[in-house]
A and B are shown apart, each in its own frame.
Chain A
Amino acid sequence: MIISPPFVRPRNAGESDPSWVSRMMPVDINRDFPLNRHASWHGGVHVLHTDRHGEEGYDRIEFVRAIADGEVISFRSPSSTDKRDTFPLNYDGRTDDGYVLLKHQTDIGENCCVVYYSLYMHLMDRLDPAIRVGARVWRKDRIGRSGMVSETNAFHFELFCDNENMLKLTGRTTPELDITRDGRTDTLYGDIHFYLPPGTHFYESVPDAASSGTDHLNPVHTSTGPLFVSMTFEKGDCTMVTRRQNITTEALFDTVGEPLVNTDANSLDSNLNTLGKYEYNLSRAARRLYPQNPSAGFELLRFGRVISTEHETLTPASAPLWRTVSFPGGTGMVNLASSDIKKFSDADFPHWTGWRLVDDDTDNNSQCNSPLIAGLQESGHFSDLSSRLVCHFPLEWNADTFDQRYAWLKTDSDDVPAMSEEDYKRLRSHASALCFDMGEHGTGRLWHFHPEAFITHFRKCCWLSKSELKQIVPRNALRMAGRNDYRWEAITYQDGTGSIADNIRTHINRAMQKHLITTPLRIACFLGNGIQETGWLGTMEEGYRYTETDPRTHQVIRRYNIWYYPWYGRGLLQLTNPENYFDYFSFRGRACPENIRNTLIDEYSRLYVHRGVRYTDNHLSDTENHVPENIIQWRNNVSSDSHEAASSAGFYWVARDMAAYADAEHILERCSVNTRGSGIKIYYRSQAFWQASAAVNLPSQIDNGRYQGLNGFDARCCVYGSAIAVLTEKKFPDSNNSLVNEKPESDQLRRER
Chain B
Amino acid sequence: MKTLLLLMAIPFFSLGKITPEIATPDRLSELPFDQLTLHRGNYLADTGSCKIISLKLFFPPEHKRYPPSGPWLCLFSVDVISNGYGPGQALPEKVYFDKKTGLWKKKKYTLSREGAQRSLEVYGIKSLSELQPLELYNIQSVNARGYAVINRNIPLREKQKGVKKKLSFCLIRDDAAFCGSGSMINLIDGKDVGFTPYMLKSLETVEMGLPEKTNN
Contact = CB atoms under 8 A, between A and B. Distances in A.
B75 to A, nearest CB: 5
A605 B47 contact: yes
Interface string B54-74: 000000000000101111110
A296 B76 CA distance: 31
A709 B88 CA distance: 9
A605 B76 CA distance: 8
Contacts of A271: 42-44, 71-72
B43 to A, nearest CB: 6
A695 B215 contact: no
Interface stretch (B13-21, B24-32, B178-186): B178-186
Contacts of A272: 66, 69-72, 180, 182
A647 B145 CA distance: 38
A contact residues, range: 35 or more
B41 A699 contact: no
A656 B44 CA distance: 6
Contact of A703 (B41, B68, B76, B89): B89
Interface in B59-117: 66, 68-73, 75-80, 83, 87-90, 115
A660 to B, nearest CB: 8
Contacts of B118: 705-706
Contacts of A288: 215-216
Nearest to A267: B34
Given A703-B181, A705-B88, A270 B42 contact: yes
> Chain A binding site: helix, strand, loop or mixed by DSSP?
helix
Contact of B70 (A210, A283, A687, A702): A702
> Chain B binding site: helix, strand, loop or mixed by DSSP?
mixed
A291 B88 contact: no
B156 to A, nearest CB: 10
Interface string A285-297: 0011101000000
Nearest to A610: B78
A446 to B, nearest CB: 48
Contact of B88 (A273, A609, A655, A701): A701
A309 interface: no
Contacts of A291: 214-216
Nearest to A582: B48
B138 interface: no
A705 B159 CA distance: 14
Interface in A552-588: 579, 583
Interface centre among B46, B49, B118, B175 (most CB of A within 10 A): B46
A479 to B, nearest CB: 20
A699 B180 contact: no
A708 B115 CA distance: 11
Interface string A151-174: 000000000000000000000000
Interface centre among B71, B89, B214 (most CB of A within 10 A): B71
B75 A609 contact: no
A430 B64 CA distance: 70
A699 B46 contact: yes
Nearest to B80: A700
A284 interface: yes
B126 interface: no
B157 A667 contact: yes
Nearest to A271: B71
Contacts, number: 98
Contact of B48 (A267, A283, A601, A709): A601
A695 B44 contact: yes
A657 interface: yes
B52 interface: no
A556 B18 CA distance: 56
A609 B72 contact: no
A665 B160 CA distance: 12
Contact of A706 (B80, B83, B115): B115
B71 A605 contact: no
B155 A705 contact: yes
Contacts of A701: 83, 88
A267 B48 CA distance: 21
Interface in A682-726: 687, 695, 699-706, 708-709
Given A284-B42, A579-B47, A702 B215 contact: no
A273 B155 CA distance: 18
B45 interface: yes
B213 to A, nearest CB: 12
A657 B43 CA distance: 10
Interface string A623-660: 00000000000000000000000000000000111001
Nearest to A669: B121
A608 interface: yes
Contact of B78 (A210, A274, A287, A608): A608
B122 interface: yes
B90 A273 contact: no
Contact of A705 (B47, B89, B214): B89
A155 B189 CA distance: 50
A700 B41 contact: no
Nearest to A696: B44
Given A605-B76, A708-B88, A702 B41 contact: no
Contact of A273 (B71, B76, B157, B179): B71
B168 interface: yes
Nearest to A691: B70
Given A284-B42, A288-B215, A579 B71 contact: no
Contact of A699 (B34, B73, B90): B73
A687 B155 CA distance: 11
A622 B207 CA distance: 34
A56 B103 CA distance: 55
Contact of B122 (A210, A695, A705, A709): A705
Contacts of B155: 687, 705
A609 B75 CA distance: 11
Contacts of B72: 271-272
Contacts of A583: 40
A701 B89 CA distance: 10
Nearest to A608: B76
Nearest to B91: A705
A210 B90 contact: no
Contacts of B168: 703
Nearest to A697: B46
Interface centre among B68, B78, B88 (most CB of A within 10 A): B88
B57 to A, nearest CB: 9
Contacts of A289: 216
A273 B68 contact: yes
A667 B157 CA distance: 9
Contacts of B216: 210, 288-289, 291
Contact of A284 (B41, B48, B75): B41
Given A210-B216, A605-B49, A699-B73, A657 B88 contact: no
Contacts of A601: 48
A295 B41 CA distance: 14
A708 B215 CA distance: 36
Interface in A265-307: 267, 270-274, 283-284, 287-289, 291
A657 B44 contact: yes
Interface string A425-462: 00000000000000000000000000000000000000
A542 B212 CA distance: 32
A457 B47 CA distance: 42
B75 A702 contact: no
Contacts of A267: 34
Contacts of A708: 87-88
Given A210-B216, A291-B216, A609-B175, A703 B71 contact: no
B93 to A, nearest CB: 14
12 contacts: A267-B34, A271-B42, A271-B71, A287-B41, A579-B48, A605-B175, A608-B47, A657-B71, A687-B155, A699-B45, A699-B75, A705-B155
Given A701-B83, A705-B122, 12 more contacts: A272-B66, A273-B69, A287-B41, A579-B45, A601-B48, A605-B47, A609-B76, A609-B78, A700-B83, A703-B181, A706-B90, A706-B115
4 nearest A-B pairs in the assembled complex, by CB-CB distance? A704-B88, A699-B44, A291-B216, A271-B71
